[in-house]
With several copies, the nearest count.
Chain A
Amino acid sequence: MNFALSDDHLMLRQTARDFLENEIDLAPLLKPGANVGNAGYDETWRKMADLGWPGLIVPEDYGGSGLSCLDLTMIAGEMGRTLAPAPFLGTLAGTWAILKGGSAAQKEKILPRVAAEGMKLALAVSDETGASDGPTSDARATATAGGFTIRGAKYFVVDAASADLLIVAAEHQGKRGLFLVDPKQPGVTIATLPWRDITRQVCEIAFADAAAELLVADDAAVWPWVRDRLLLLLAVESAAGLQVVIETTTAYAKERVAFGKPIGAYQSIKHQLADMFSVGECANVAVLYAAWALSEEAPRGPLAAAMSKSYACDAYVDATHRSIQIFGAIGFTWEMKNHLYFKRARANAEMFGAPAVQRARVIEMLETQAA
């Protein structure tokens, strides 16, 4: 046993950190009226493509790096630290769906393009309520001569507007299937939502008999596997963002003076930061364990993923709020980064099942084990 990160992992993380701290500039988002359109989504993606990041989890046979969940965590964490705006989550989600659900031919057709050309994907699973676990869906697929057409809508789809290919969950014959849909066809209308977390592109999609190709007829065996990885990804982002919040808030508390002392000399601030730090350590280890468990396809993987999502997101939401409090009025202004982290935290918490939802799942899984 060894719980320390290997040198390879540390190096992977350092490389990602050097790149992102260099490339990611959130300044344009801190100008009045800024939105995700100003986030430099595409440019950043191009640069990531030069590093081969689109293919991180694409198996080497398809020209990717074939990274495990644990390896990926090293890079995803840095994405979370910098709030890097790019179609990273969407492409990962799509890749996982194809890896788990796609035919050999489909993998052959798509994955090399993801790895080599930085083809962008998006996974459309959520319905109007934000529920993503199916089996119901706001979209229906109908078989046609050439394949399928999809009618209906999907909601809260991350990275849809920038995607080159959509993977869409739609009902067909009482089951929820996954379908490949070309977004660049008349039957597909994509609207980017005025999402509060302006470092992320979140969209609504309307399908008017859009042509589609079947990926898998029943996603019951595919979606849970993909969802576990998405939960991990959000947990990783959150735990890493939390670290930045702790670091910046601690630094601020040391230099900022009130009533003749640095505010960090007041016990109430000290203890708040100590709490944030302790919870941060917990989030880190929860995330690493989940990443390891999913990498190993360990039986506890899904449990660990749900636990890490619940814990890390709650901790992130709490810390980003406290951070604004400790910064004081200035931390409440648009021109500071505090609110970007606050909004990312709030959004991550809700995606693919809020912390309380994950906790209910945790007990369900334990009950099943016990039974």
Chain B
Amino acid sequence: MDFDLPPDNDPRRLEVRAWFEARPKPSYRQMAEAGYVVPHWPRPWGLAADAELQLIVDEEIKRANVLAPNLVNPVAVNNCAQSLLTHGTDAQRERFLMPALAAEEIWCMLFSEPSGGSDLGALRTTARKEGDHYVVRGQKIWTSLAHKAKVGILVARTDASMPKHSGLSQFIIDMDSPGITVRPIIDMSGEENEYNEVFFDDVKVPADRLLGKEGEGWQLSMSQLQTERVALSKPGAIWGGGPSARDLVDGLIEKGAMKDPLLRDEAAKLYIEGEILRLLAYRTLTDRMNAKNAGPEAAARKAIAAPHGQRVVDLAKRWQGMRGLVEGEEGLPRPNNGKGTFDNWDYAFWFNPAVTLGVGTQEILKNVIAERVLGLPREKDPTAKTPWTEVQKPQLKTAS
């Protein structure tokens, strides 16, 4: 066991550093061609890198003060592009991969629905085959980047006679196709954030945009939601981004707030939990390095990280007292020099309820741990085996 990170004089590190020093302001196209966008991919796209090299690349990109590609085009780099690599046709790979990795075409994921949420299998958007194309009709919600995206990965129901999970398929969508309307969602923070509603009004999608085979939509979607690019995710309060418990403690010390023993104790609890979350991320990384699947600690980390982050921003907000209710009052200094969307204590707080929402709520996460890790009896979905058309008979809303 060794908790030290690859040292400064690590030869692989030096090579990467040299590349960036030779190119002060590299384009993402350059980085993509050098294999630094998806180092863990096979060549030509990546470097077939082991986890440690991936880590080195991450750190050197940060050191070169370049915004990480997975922040510029997250859906492609973190979630979906890999499916093209594994399930796409040559033509699809040829057409879409490099522009995506070079961040020349932003992608979005068209998954969640107003009626769907965590029960993705209950989605209602349909894709009807008509000769050489499909016709898509329905609505998606919580689509991040839809307003910027050129490409959308859509999951829709192609066969309603099958049970809920079996009748789904995935498509690669041109977001500028006629019939697509994108409407931003205003969240409770009052900000027009990156989330959108997307409406499909009989949108024509060429048949060759089917990703994988018909009926593979569920499996593809699940793998895309799982795909976690190995990364030393710093335990920021908002999905790993934004302020961390370290930022909280540094800020409170700087402000001389630690004199209050109650705040001191709460801050210490959060600091300790935050450090542990870092360690769990390292552990997951090590497992990958040792070519093992992420161990149970990965699930545990997810279950703990979200409420942890909420308590971090909550304490910072409570410390502000009345002042904290005034819009724009950040109280503590911006973490990460305010680089990221959530590197703002005030915004991070009013956004924080979202962290435990959406796909994979805490309840579902805990069920997963209880069932898959601890082997306790499984929760049954009474509608899982029924043809979707049957399930639909009693018109019921479905939960997000």
Show the binding face of A for B, using Cβ within 8 Å: 1-6, 9, 32-33, 70, 126, 129-130, 155-156, 193-197, 202, 250, 253-271, 273-275, 277-282, 284-286, 288-289, 292-293, 307, 310-311, 321, 324-325, 327-335, 338-339, 342-343, 346-347, 350-351, 354, 356, 359-360, 362-363, 366-367, 370
Contacts and interface: CB of A to CB of B under 8 A. Distances in A.
Nearest to A31: B186
Interface stretch (B167-175, B201-209, B215-223, B276-284): B276-284
A10 to B, nearest CB: 11
Contacts of A274: 303, 365-367, 369-370, 373-374
Contacts of A5: 1
B283 A3 contact: yes
A311 B272 contact: yes
A275 B285 CA distance: 22
B343 to A, nearest CB: 20
Contacts of A351: 322
Nearest to A281: B300
B125 interface: no
Nearest to B396: A257
Contact of B286 (A3, A267, A268, A362): A3
Given A196-B327, A284-B297, 19 more contacts: A1-B5, A1-B286, A3-B2, A6-B1, A195-B325, A250-B376, A262-B377, A270-B374, A271-B370, A274-B370, A286-B279, A289-B3, A292-B1, A331-B353, A332-B353, A346-B317, A356-B262, A362-B272, A363-B271
Interface string B112-152: 10100111001000000000000000000110000000000
B356 interface: yes
Q: Report whether over half of chain A's contact residues are helix, strand or loop; otherwise say mixed.
A: helix
Contacts of A330: 114, 400
A277 B373 contact: yes
Interface string B221-239: 0000000000000000000
A278 B283 contact: no
Contact of A277 (B271, B300, B384, B391): B300
Contacts of A1: 2-6, 52, 282, 286
B52 A285 contact: no
A255 B363 contact: no
A328 B361 contact: yes
Given A202-B325, A329-B117, A253 B272 contact: no
7 contacts: A2-B289, A155-B322, A328-B118, A359-B268, A360-B265, A360-B268, A363-B253
B275 interface: yes
A273 B370 contact: yes
A94 B31 CA distance: 58
Given A1-B286, A32-B186, A271 B300 contact: no
Contacts of B370: 264, 270-271, 273-274, 277
B353 A359 contact: no
Contacts of B253: 363, 366-367, 370
B382 interface: yes
Contacts of B393: none
A109 B323 CA distance: 35
Given A3-B282, A289-B279, A259 B361 contact: no
B384 A260 contact: yes
Contacts of A269: 363, 376
A347 B321 CA distance: 9
A309 B370 CA distance: 26
A215 B46 CA distance: 61
Contacts of B283: 3, 285
Contacts of A255: 396-397
B354 interface: yes
Contacts of A262: 376-377
The 3 closest A-B pairs by CB, nearest first: A130-B322, A258-B399, A339-B188
B338 interface: no
B350 A265 contact: no
Given A2-B2, A258-B398, A342-B188, A156 B280 contact: no
B293 to A, nearest CB: 13
Nearest to B346: A196
B268 A270 contact: no
Interface in B48-77: 52
Contact of B382 (A6, A195, A261, A363): A261
Contact of A260 (B186, B250, B365, B382): B382
Given A258-B119, A332-B187, A281 B297 contact: yes
B331 interface: no
Contact of A359 (B52, B112, B269, B356): B269
Given A1-B6, A329-B112, A335 B325 contact: no
B333 interface: no
B8 to A, nearest CB: 13
Nearest to B358: A329
A362 B357 CA distance: 32
Contacts of B322: 126, 129-130, 155-156, 350-351
A126 B321 CA distance: 12
Contacts of A350: 318, 321-322, 324-325
Of B3, B271, B391, the most chain A CB neighbours within 10 A belong to: B3
Best-buried of B363, B371, B379 by chain A (most CB within 10 Å):
B363
A360 B119 CA distance: 44
A138 B274 CA distance: 39
B374 A354 contact: no
Contacts of B261: 360
B108 interface: no
B254 interface: yes
A196 B272 contact: no
B122 to A, nearest CB: 8
A270 B376 contact: yes
Contacts of B334: none
Contacts of B301: 281
Nearest to B258: A363
A333 B377 contact: no
B182 interface: no
B1 A288 contact: yes
B262 to A, nearest CB: 6
Contact of A356 (B265, B357, B363): B265
A197 B350 CA distance: 12
Given A256-B398, A258-B399, A282-B300, A196 B325 contact: yes
B327 A307 contact: no
B357 A325 contact: yes
B376 A197 contact: no
Contact of B268 (A195, A258, A362): A362
A362 B275 CA distance: 12
A359 B369 contact: no
Contacts of B350: 196
A329 B273 contact: no
